[in-house]
Structure 1
Amino acid sequence: MSILVTGGAGYIGSHVVLALVDRAEDVVVLDDLSTGFADSLHPAARLVVGDVSDAALVARLVAEYGITEIIHFAAKIVVPDSVSDPLGYYLGNTAKTRSLFAAAVAAGVKRIIFSSTAAVYGDPGAGVISEDHPAAPINPYGRSKLMSEWMLADTARAHGLQYTVLRYFNVAGADPEGRAGQSSRQATHLIKVASQVATGERAGLEIFGTDYATPDGTCIRDYIHVSDLARAHVAALNALRAGGQNLTLNCGYGRGYSVRDVVEVVKQVSGVDFPVKISPRRSGDPATLVAGAQRIRDELGWEPLLDDLPTIVRHALAWERRLGRGKAQQSPQVATV
């Protein structure tokens, strides 16, 4: 019995792989390495380099490794890029996901955990957003993910699939043991970028928009530690294996921090007073996104262990410093295709 993790060499996927291997699960990672890093993977994970839309490859992996569940991360995730390249996002996030789901059904896989996003809510205004809030995405990234949610729900009804959709809010930090983190130099996540500035990797930080209807004029987001998010996937897997119902759940802490709040915490934790440039708003950015996070606690028994912004920043900074020194990790088992 094995788990197929698509996009498992990426930021969030590699942390979920760690959590799975830590509990002795047999993990196969399918990743094209377009944005992922093979050396971010736990050495016990098998890495197959390939595309999630390759139905023959997915079928072979299911048969060869006895895949019983799929956790699907592989996707494009940069909101401004989705605005400039919508067709690329509908291909990468929707069309390829459709191919994966079709291959999973044909191969007899019965349980899927799908990586979704708070971007499906669009610009909901101030306040906490529950899973019952209408989905009204305002950018192609959010729309491409919502389409995939619909596909999964419809496929489940038709073919008896069990699934959990996890809608992530803003994911940040790194593995507390230093085994994985956000490795992309071109990442757009605020805490990642601010940490790069604090450690000298970037020259300065831009704040995009200071005229939002928020207390300090900058966007407010709910930041969740990536390792807490990984534990949410493990909890979802446990529930599905126990015969749990199909669920769509927010993943966040239920509190928000503004861009200026985050910048100040990074400065305080790093001890570096780095330069900040004020720039115009970016297209597709809602003012406030804060998770209603009670349902995941009630349904999965999930409780965060790292719900503290300075801790998230400290782990992110530690990972940036590790990248600066150069990582010396074992290589995972790479399967031939």
Structure 2
Amino acid sequence: MPPRTALNWGVLPPSFLLPSTASTSIAAAAAAAALKQLPNTSRRTIKSIHDPRPNRFTHNPKHEPLESTSTAALARREHSTPLRSGALALKRGMTALYDPETGKRTACTVLQLDRNEVVAHKTRDVHGYYAVQVGAGLKRAANVTRPMLGHFATAGVSPKRWVAEFKVRGKEGLGLGVGERILASWFTEGQFVDVKGTSRGMGFAGGMKRHGFGGQPASHGQSLMHRGMGSAGGSQGSGSRVLPGKRMAGRMGNESVTVQNLKVLKVDAENGLVVVNGCVPGPKNSILKIRDALKKSWPEGPMTSAEIAPTKAAVEATA
């Protein structure tokens, strides 16, 4: 077999195969003019050459202010933030009230305010939001930590057993000064409130009691599995595993529950009692948070301590 001819890599092709200089320069000029007409963007990636669509998080002086800031977040929640503070109360039990005109019986719950006092204020400049810190109950000083003793001493109140915060919409919601007491007359009869508390702990419960499962049949070969949960999930269809969030047997109760739109039926300012319609979460003597209902119109109640209706004892003391 004859040897192959060596390739001449440095030899140019024939002249008739080379493009003319004039045509090359014209094509280069046309390409440069076309590039000048396109927007000045990088072409090393697959980015779009068009302007991006407006985004509420885009920072541009020509656009509206950013909606990802804390100020914008407070503005979005402004419609659902109460105008004034709430109060802490103890659940004393359930009873019933009768309407003398119609004779209708209404089940209700008795709540008692126990030495509610304002402990501190949270402001937008310092803490990022407006809130009123309320303390209730009484606790021995020997059982309170030194930082909390100093916190209560600064407010000029006795050590409290329970402390909670109530967010308010603006500065006008801080009408109650530090150290002032919140009486039962802070709420008015006929208004609606939301009551939040911790539900009763039921311990370990099965699927039928905890989630309302139907259970297994009583016959047709079923043996000793009448209240069982049954299948926890498919095999291949769900990836041969139990999907997260599957409702099963487990601990029931002992979680935060809010009952909304409870009507205030009666207010006893002298004894610190607030009677609300229906039931509230938690066992007797448990602590609850009461505040104006979010899904009802805001009541025309007091905003400062001076607007609270005086109690009978206070009127007799001043007389």
Task: State TM-score, norm by structure 1.
Answer: 0.21
When you count strand as a share of all residues, which structure comes out higher? 2
Task: State TM-score, norm by structure 2.
Answer: 0.22
- Bigger Cα Rg: 2
